[in-house]
Structure 1
Amino acid sequence: MKKIVFALAAVVMISSCKENQASSEENTTAETSKTAETSAKENSTSSEKMKESVEGNLRIYPISHASMVLMWDDTTIYVDPVGDVEQYDKYPKPDMVLVTHAHGDHFDQKVLGAVTTDKTTMVMPKHVSEQLKDNYMAKVHVMNNGDTTTLKSIKIEAVAMYNVREEAKNFHPKGKWNGYVIERDGKRVYISGDTGPTEEMQNLKDIDVAFVCMNLPYTMTVESAAEAVLDFKPKKVYPYHYRGKDGLYDTDKFAQLVHEDSDEITVVSCEWYPERG
């Protein structure tokens, strides 16, 4: 991944994923950085949202919306794999699958049956495991809110995911489904799933990489997502799951809100909606 960095004092960087080293005149995603000395001065550049990001020994491949492939050293992890099975053909079969909850944009039994093998461990909440209808070769490891375990040399913590807005509580009720923190060699990655700005999220510590949702009516507003991120202060945050009933949410605005209040958080923008092209 090639980062576009503005080396200014007290800067929060907004970087884009890069699939290869070739530059393109069609790059279009805005980045903005602001100095503490001259708060009114803003600089911006453009780059296309790309399809791969590298975080040291962790490679991140957005698939679509809430689905992604993580390749962490020699371990391949699929997160909420749904959609066309062919999207996963170019990646290794997963050692582990993380399923956050049972909604169709996160849980697809046909896809799970196609991508998993007898060497795959599927991690999911009890409510999701109870809906499995097929005989999967994969092992199923049930985790509920607050549970921790270690699989494939990766520590996994199940974090409560639920709505806090009164009008949205029926979408994702408290105590039923999971976000996850996964950790290896001291690096901690948070995957929000569909959630509001919960107390559990706000109390997260030492997160290196966070994937945070934002869309109405199902999860958070852009403003609420930014406030939550500013509470738990991950080193880097990837906005994802940002398609709502009224279209795609403004991730540039999210980045602006974050960097206006913090010079320590990098917002990374990837292409989660390739169908637009």
Structure 2
Amino acid sequence: MKHYLALAAALALGAYRAQAQPAAPARPAPDQIPTKKGPLAVQPITHGSVVLTWNGKTIYVDPYGGADAYAGLAAPNVILITDIHGDHLAPQTLGALAAGKALMVVPQAVADKLPAEYKPQVRILRNGQRLDTLGLTISAIPMYNLPEAPDAMHTKGRGNGYVLGLGGKNVYLSGDTEDIPEMRALKNIDVAFVCMNLPYTMDVQQAAQGVLAFRPSIVYPYHYRGQNGLSDVAAFKQTVNQANKKIDVRLRNWYPAAK
């Protein structure tokens, strides 16, 4: 009898724990992109946030939207933050994630606003600087609004776009930018994540023309929720592929809860 009761109690505890675990949110399935050192997994999260997994390393980009959005994913080894706005720098989300051992790569403006507890983990990159770490390279490039103005929502030099070099592939993360010369001048980009949401960044046509200028092999529209709802990413794909069929435009749902 005692053995039976102990077994029943153990089963009940296991069921309780299973129910208590947060369910993984509905997400698009991750893409697998081959590199020289194994696949690069691309997991859309929400808005400008994406999780990249490669060679045993997990990279969180602009973690935002609450810890539940990351349920079931490996803890980050690297966290990239592009800008100070709340959909990129989200201290509440950071505090709820297992981020205590992650290297945080950020611009100075973000470092100035991070809670003090993260300071030992922070590496500041300014536009034009590069970091080699954990078998990958991280280069910071400009992201800003046009025309340049002191009162722009994104001023030149404050935030970072990033180019990651990993396994022979170059991955571009635009951050909040418009169709700037620095983006158009990019070379040998294998995978690009490009924003498009008015009035904060650029419209669909600007984004398409920028992509046609630097010609990535694969491009994901992301960060495409603006003041008037979601941007027309299908029109972006059509515009790009009418001019260049070789660019693989991948439409994934960064807003699974949107109606």
Shorter-chain-normalised TM-score: which range? 0.7 to 0.9
1:50 is aligned, of 24, 28, 38, to: 28
Q: CA deviation at 1:167?
A: 8.2
**Partner residue of 1:129?**
111
RMSD of aligned alpha carbons? 1.7
- Relative contact order, CA 8 A, sep 6+: which one is greater? 1
Q: Which aligned pairs between 1:142-221 and structure 2 lie closer than 5 A? A: 142-165=124-147, 170-221=152-203
DSSP-derived class of the 1:271 partner = coil
1:270 is aligned, of 244, 252, 258, to: 252
Which amino acid letter does the alignment assign opposite residue 254 of structure 1? F
Choose between structure 1 and 2: higher strand proportion. 1
1:98 is aligned, of 77, 80, 83, to: 80
Q: 1:161 to 1:114 in 2, by over 3 A?
A: same
Which amino acid letter does the alignment assign opposite residue 54 of structure 1? Q
Q: 1:218 to 1:169 in 2, by over 3 A?
A: farther
DSSP-derived class of the 1:256 partner = helix
CA distance in 1, matches of 2:150, 2:215: 25
CA contact (8 A) 2:28 2:43 kept: no
CA distance in 1, matches of 2:174, 2:83: 11
Which amino acid letter does the alignment assign opposite residue 33 of structure 2? E
TM-score (normalizing by structure 2): 0.84
Q: CA deviation at 1:170?
A: 1.0
Is 2:120 aligned against 1:120? Answer: no
Q: CA deviation at 1:136?
A: 2.7
User: What does the per-residue CA deviation read over 1:167-225, in whole Å, with 9 as the maximum and x for residues that have no partner?
Assistant: 89610001111000001122000000000011110010000000000010000110000
DSSP-derived class of the 1:97 partner = strand
TM-score (normalizing by structure 1): 0.79
User: What does the per-residue CA deviation read over 1:120-144, in whole Å, with 9 as the maximum and x for residues that have no partner?
Assistant: 1000000100111241386101001
Matched-pair identity in %: 44
What are structure 2's unaligned runs of at least 5 residues?
Answer: 1-26
Which amino acid letter does the alignment assign opposite residue 83 of structure 1? G
How many residues align structurally?
229
**Partner residue of 1:257?**
239
CA distance in 1, matches of 2:120, 2:227: 34
DSSP-derived class of the 1:224 partner = helix
CA distance in 2, matches of 1:74, 1:259: 34
DSSP-derived class of the 1:230 partner = helix
Task: Answer with 1 or 2: which has the greater Rg.
Answer: 2
Q: 1:158 to 1:137 in 2, by over 3 A?
A: closer
